[in-house]
Amino acid sequence: MRTLQQSPAKHAGTPNVAGFFDPRTFSVQYVVSDPETKQCAIIDPVLDYDEKSGATATHHADELLAFIREQGFEVQWILDTHPHADHFSAAQYLKEQTGAPTAIGGYVTGVQELWKGIYNWPDFPADGSQWDHLFRAGDEFRVGNLQGRVMFSPGHTL
């Protein structure tokens, strides 16, 4: 994994953003931080998966954690922007490592219901309980002194 780009804050109240490209899944993971408080959020972390062996690994997640340590950040949120049909999320692993809560948009429950039927998982709880918090459109949250607002943007998996 390599850092795509780091975008430093230009003035007070704006975030630092670092993007990390995963060539295997062709996805980007982000660490968004408040330069004033050193609080950060990890967005869309990838759990490594080898489809030939069925094995998972945490190499990419560990690289994110190394970057966060190097920068002196404290993880405040681990966010999935949507349920990922094209790769696994490392959110639970990162929660175990950092103690930070996980969150996703509340519409995840509709996707879970769909997947529950497709994959024949009758006992799967399609209630979003795999995350600590379910956001709704318009909800606001903080990363340090930075304020974020949740926007519903359907299209990729939803």
Show the tokens assigned to 7: 């975008």
pLDDT at 55: 86
- Domains in the chain (CATH in brackets) are 2-149 (3.60.15.10)
Q: Where are the beta strands (DSSP E) in 23-109?
A: 27-33, 39-43, 46-50, 55-57, 74-79, 88-89, 102-105
Predicted confidence band of residue 67 (pLDDT cuts 50, 70, 90): very high
Q: Is the pTM of this model over 0.85?
A: yes
Instruction: Tell me the pLDDT tens digit for each residue of 70-126.
Output: 999 999 999 998 776 666 789 999 999 999 999 988 777 677 777 778 888 888 888
Residue 156 pLDDT level (bands cut at 50, 70, 90): low
